[in-house]
Structures are given as structure tokens and as C-alpha cells.
Amino acid sequence: MPLSPQEIAEFEELGYLFLPSCFSEEEIEALREEAVEIYKTDREEVWREENGAPRTAFAAHTYNEAFGLLGADPRLIDPVSQIFGEHLYMHQYKVNAKAAFQGAVWQWHQDYGVWSRDDGMPEPRAMNIAVFLDEVMAINGPLMFIPKSHSGGTLDAHHDTSTTSYPLWTLDDDTVTKLAEEGGIIAPTGPPGSVMMFHGNLVHASPPNITPYPRKIVYLTLCAVSNHITKFGRPEFIAHRDFTPIEPVSETALLDYARARKKAA
């Protein structure tokens, strides 16, 4: 799934790119069902909100076949490799839950600000590429971006360890207000199977979900191999230490898995 020159230009200008309906309903149904089962476990990789609802499942690609195939899917790997011009490794992998009625806030932050401070990542040559497992609506806790905010580099941040169950380097209200006055705030929405890729320094957040509609999103944090992390303070299931280049699977591998899984059920 190579990006066109127009798509690359849009990404570089705005800091994000939305690619609707990249995955089929068959593929997404299998992933969605697998995610629900993972959230039921008490694995150390599954983190929960303070109210007990699932918040995120780290490193699902290492212990679940479906998410392992997604983590090597060329529809996700190739566009990021095209942007960076080199091979990639998996820095982090999350299946974020945002449960109905219970999903909590993700504060305003820059991902690279976290990767740099916590993991010693040299440069912002890593980014998230996200896959919607549920429909993302304006009402069920969508991702919110400040367009073009990546162009200001890595901003000052505060290490928030109390607002939610997940510690995060967050931006203060004055910084967010100034950035929003310059670039506005957008919240991309779309059907299951849509893909969103965004720059490591793009400022983003998401509000709580107080609706009956869950909002699950898978995030692959793909990093240029030459830009691998240099600090190992966080658990390996959060910040991976295997810098081996990802070898993409067949573009039909996930669909073949989904159909075999359904046939065996």
C-alpha cells in the first residue's frame, strides 16, 4: 500500500494521514473478538483503568497470532517504511480499549516526548499507525489531534503519574491552548478497518467514553531500526528491545487466518 506523493505531502504538512477502510470486516471481526478475550485475562501486559475496565493490552503481537499477523502486515509496515526510508522494528504495540461508559481520558501529549524521555529514543523517527477495531465516532472518545503541531519539535512536558493508571508526559493547558489557536483541533472518525498514521511529535489526546459504544484501536509504534532506543527502564513488553527489522507477511495472511478461525469455530 504505497503512499502517493500527495499523501506524503499531506502527512508532512499536517502531521497525520487518515486511510479509510484498509482492512475488511472479516479481518477486523477476528481481531475484535481476540481483543475481547485478551482483556479478560490477568496478564501483566493488560493494564486497567482505576475503575477496573481494560485500558490497554501491551505486546499482543507476541502472544496472539492474529495480532502478530497484524504487526507484520505490509499495509501498515510499507507506508511507514516509505516515510523513513529504511527498515522498521516494533518499539511498542498496544490494543487500547476505551470501554463503553468506563474508558478514561488520555491527556494531551506527544508520543515522541514519552519515547525520548523514558526510552532514550534519539530522534522522532518513529510513529504510531492505528487500526480502528470499532467504529470511531465523535461521541465515543475519538482521538483528537492538533494539526501541524508536530512542526514545533518536542515540547516541555510534565510527568503525570496520577490522572490515570498509565503515567504519561503531558502538556500544560497554556501550551495546548496556544497550539489549538494556531492549528485547531480535529477528531477523525471512521468505520472499523480504517487506518490512521501520525507523526511522533503530533500533539493529541482523547476524552473519556461515556457512551454505550466501545472504541478499540490497535497502535503499532514503528521505529526506524537505526533510531532504536538506548534506555531500558520500562518493562520490555512496553518498550521492546528486539531491534530486528520486521519482515512483512503476505497481505492476505490476516484474512486467511480470520477465515480459518471462523471455519474452525
Q: What is the pLDDT of residues 36-95, one digit of tens each?
A: 999 999 999 999 988 899 999 999 999 999 999 999 999 999 999 999 999 999 999 999
CB under 8 Å to 176, separation ≥6 — which residues? 108, 146, 203
So what's the pLDDT on residue 159?
87
The torsion region of residue 215 among left (phi > 0), alpha (psi -120 to 50) and beta comes to beta
Sheet harboring 217-224: ordered strands across? 16-19, 195-199, 126-132, 217-224, 88-96, 54-58, 46-48
Range of the domain at 96: 5-264
So what's the pLDDT on residue 191?
97
So what's the pLDDT on residue 2?
86
Among candidates 216, 211, 221, 163, which has minimal Cα distance to 192? 216
So what's the pLDDT on residue 216?
97
So what's the pLDDT on residue 27?
98
Return the beta strands (E) in 20-153 as ranges. Answer: 46-48, 54-58, 88-96, 106-109, 126-132, 144-145
* C-alpha separations of 5 from 43, 82, 199, 207, 240 in Å: 43, 11, 17, 33, 32
| Intervals of the chain under pLDDT 70 | 165
SS3 177: helix
0.85 exceeded by the pTM?
yes
So what's the pLDDT on residue 161?
84
- CATH number of the domain residue 73 falls in: 2.60.120.620
* Continuous segment of H or E residues that includes residue 14: helix 5-14
So what's the pLDDT on residue 166?
77
Specify the number of domains making up the chain.
1
